[in-house]
Chain A
Amino acid sequence: MLLEVKDLSLSIGILRLLDRVSFAVDRGQVLGLVGESGSGKSLTALALTGLVRRIGGVVTGGVILFDGQDLAGLPEPALRRLRGKRIAFITQNPMSALDALKTIGDQVDQVARLHLGLSRRAARARTVEILTRLRIPDAAQVARAYPHQLSGGMKQRVVIAMALAADAELIIADEPTTALDVTVQAQIVMILADLVRQRQIGLILITHDMGVVAQICDLVCVLYAGRVAESGPVETLFAAPRHPYSAALIGCIPREGMAPGALKGIPGGVPSAAAYGDACCRFAERCPRADALCRRTRPPERIEGGMTVACHHPLPLLSAAPEVAR
């Protein structure tokens, strides 16, 4: 397993923002980390690279096993050598992810020069090669351009190129398509999917777009208020979501031929981190299936049919097998 996160808990000050989050991703796999804003997706990404320490985050429990090595306790210099080299991070907004004063080539070169010790010339050749592979026309020319001369989609590809420059094995992409328009979004998603298959890297895709998840993810992990609601193979989740929250998220995807008004939203909003309850299901306030039990006890994790679901009253399994609570 390339990356295995087990029972990761994380606090910033008195706020307990992640509560026993677990997921795993292997080489050649895409894991979708989904959930509404404020559910802890980006925080999880920051935790994986150790960058969360900069904003005062403390891992209070669990392990982050990357290729067998626990990153949670690794000192900063060791983490820094890992970042960009083995684990690359693609930030949310490609429009501002590049330094306006430096050429594209300069910025991509830097990663290979830092981590692979390449000479300036070798690094530039590599940059041009990577840019070409990302279907950037006239890559040598683009390498000499400044960020403001490129479109959003081009910039995002440059950011992806930075992630590839030192042959990272795991790429964490934090909403890589949100700032782009729809046609470009599809292109970027396809590029990422191709990279995973061709180079056998692991990709963690953080998104709130269930459409993208359905398109390229192998595994999905639905986060809600700092806890995993449901996780498992993407086909199973879309065919038969067990957790009412996953079901509601899928219900939010517009489909062709939908009757007007059939598109549903989820009433209410994500609770604030200060109001996270401990001994309850955090989705209970918005859940149509919630009862007194949900407000009193933390739902146990059930593992059934390849899915892990944390719910007292999960939706029925597709095969209608008898449910057994753990």
Chain B
Amino acid sequence: MTAAAPRPGLLPAVLRSAPVLAFTSWKGAIAGSFLLLLILGALLAPWLTPYEYDVQNLPGAFQPPSLAHPMGTDEFGRDLLTRILYGARTSLSVSGVAIAISLFCGMVLGASAGYLGGRFDRAVMVVVDLTWAFPEILVALMLVAIIGPGTTGTLVAICVAYLAQFTRLTRAQVMSLKSETFVEAARGMGASGTAILFRHLLPNCLGPVLVAGMLATGDAIILEATLGFFGLGAQPPTPSWGGMMSSGSGLLFKGPWIILFPGLCIALTVVAINLFGDALLHKLDIRERVRSA
């Protein structure tokens, strides 16, 4: 035995390489590269651009795209590309972090509800179905109204808005998996309830749940932009894609590029996330992976 014995851990060995393998399909490669570039751009924004995102230059307002300003300038003469890069920081981190927290909480809630069943399950599901009954945007708006506009409000709002979805998905997965023969077999070999939950049930439902999380991140970016558009997201002068579109919407004829570029960014990012999620889905299925190998 020269190969290292498989390491323990929640994420099974076969799933760990999936994100890398997703790059092997052209769809995953294009979408993944776009997302990587975007993340890099957001991280390195201060070094990539000579402009500040919040310094006004009124004489230079409403410049159409040029070499000096590839995406033009806005109504205050600020470079649009700079603001888009800084805006990506807000949009990506808020939606990413919100979905990550939501995913974690949803998995814990869903797995315990699905595994334990009974009264706890019913209590969780009443709350989950109640939030599920409203569109995400309504739940988010209500929460922002309570917490107040800003980055924190948006984050919490997105978190709660998607919690129901992840809880339901994990619960359904765990419920169908727990009656599988291999779970019964593990029990017959003396495995305890916690061992079954953590060793067999959670790893087996991780694939679909992670992909759902990926796709929800795309949705969350739109939700974040929507809240920003309504002026409920990150507050000026912090740029956010939704906020930029909002200010550009009144200037459609004076400077159409002001709304065009943030809009394009949102659309492309969401498409890229969906494509990458799709590529990931295929690579997470171990059977499919070995067949094509």
Contact A101–B203 (Cβ < 8 Å)? yes
Contact A124–B1 (Cβ < 8 Å)? yes
- Whether B292 sits at the interface, judged by CB under 8 Å, is no
Q: Which residues of B contact A96 (CB under 8 A)?
A: 180-182
Q: Which of A81, A102, A121, A140 interacts with B190 by CB under 8 Å? A: A81
Interface of A is mostly: helix
- Whether B249 sits at the interface, judged by CB under 8 Å, is no
What sequence of 0s and 1s flags, for each residue 1-43 of chain B, a beta carbon within 8 Å of any chain A beta carbon?
A: 1010110000011110000000000000000000000000000
Chain A interface size, as a band, is 35 or more
CB distance from A132 to the nearest CB of B (A): 13
Q: Which chain B residue lies CB-closest to A80? A: B190
What sequence of 0s and 1s flags, for each residue 280-300 of chain A, a beta carbon within 8 Å of any chain B beta carbon?
A: 000000000000000000000
CB distance from B90 to the nearest CB of A (A): 37
Using known A-B contacts A99-B204, A101-B15, determine if residue A91 contacts B286 with beta carbons closer than 8 Å: no
Interface of B is mostly: helix
CB distance from A128 to the nearest CB of B (A): 8
> Quick one: which of B6, B190, B191 has the most chain A CB within 10 A?
B190
Q: Which residues of A contact B199 (CB under 8 A)?
A: 99, 110
Contact B203–A162 (Cβ < 8 Å)? no
- Whether B290 sits at the interface, judged by CB under 8 Å, is yes
Contact A102–B12 (Cβ < 8 Å)? yes
Q: Which residues of A contact B184 (CB under 8 A)?
A: 51, 91, 97
- Whether A92 sits at the interface, judged by CB under 8 Å, is yes
- Whether A115 sits at the interface, judged by CB under 8 Å, is yes
Docked CA distance A18–B182 (Å): 26
Q: Which residues of B contact A85 (CB under 8 A)?
A: 190
Using known A-B contacts A81-B190, A89-B188, A146-B14, determine if residue A98 contacts B1 with beta carbons closer than 8 Å: no
Number of interface residues of B (CB under 8 A): 28
- Whether B287 sits at the interface, judged by CB under 8 Å, is yes
Using known A-B contacts A91-B184, A100-B287, determine if residue A115 contacts B190 with beta carbons closer than 8 Å: yes
Q: Which of A88, A93, A106 interacts with B189 by CB under 8 Å? A: A88
What sequence of 0s and 1s flags, for each residue 279-293 of chain B, a beta carbon within 8 Å of any chain A beta carbon?
A: 000000011001000
- Whether A243 sits at the interface, judged by CB under 8 Å, is no
Docked CA distance A81–B189 (Å): 9
Contact B1–A106 (Cβ < 8 Å)? no
- Whether B187 sits at the interface, judged by CB under 8 Å, is yes
Q: Which residues of A contact B190 (CB under 8 A)?
A: 80-85, 111, 114-115, 166
Q: Which of A49, A105, A109, A125 interacts with B188 by CB under 8 Å? A: A49
Further pairs besides A83-B187, A121-B5, A149-B290: 11, Cβ < 8 Å: A84-B189, A84-B190, A88-B188, A89-B189, A92-B181, A103-B13, A110-B189, A111-B189, A114-B195, A146-B290, A148-B290
9 tightest A-B contacts by CB? A89-B188, A84-B190, A84-B189, A83-B190, A96-B181, A97-B185, A101-B12, A91-B185, A97-B181
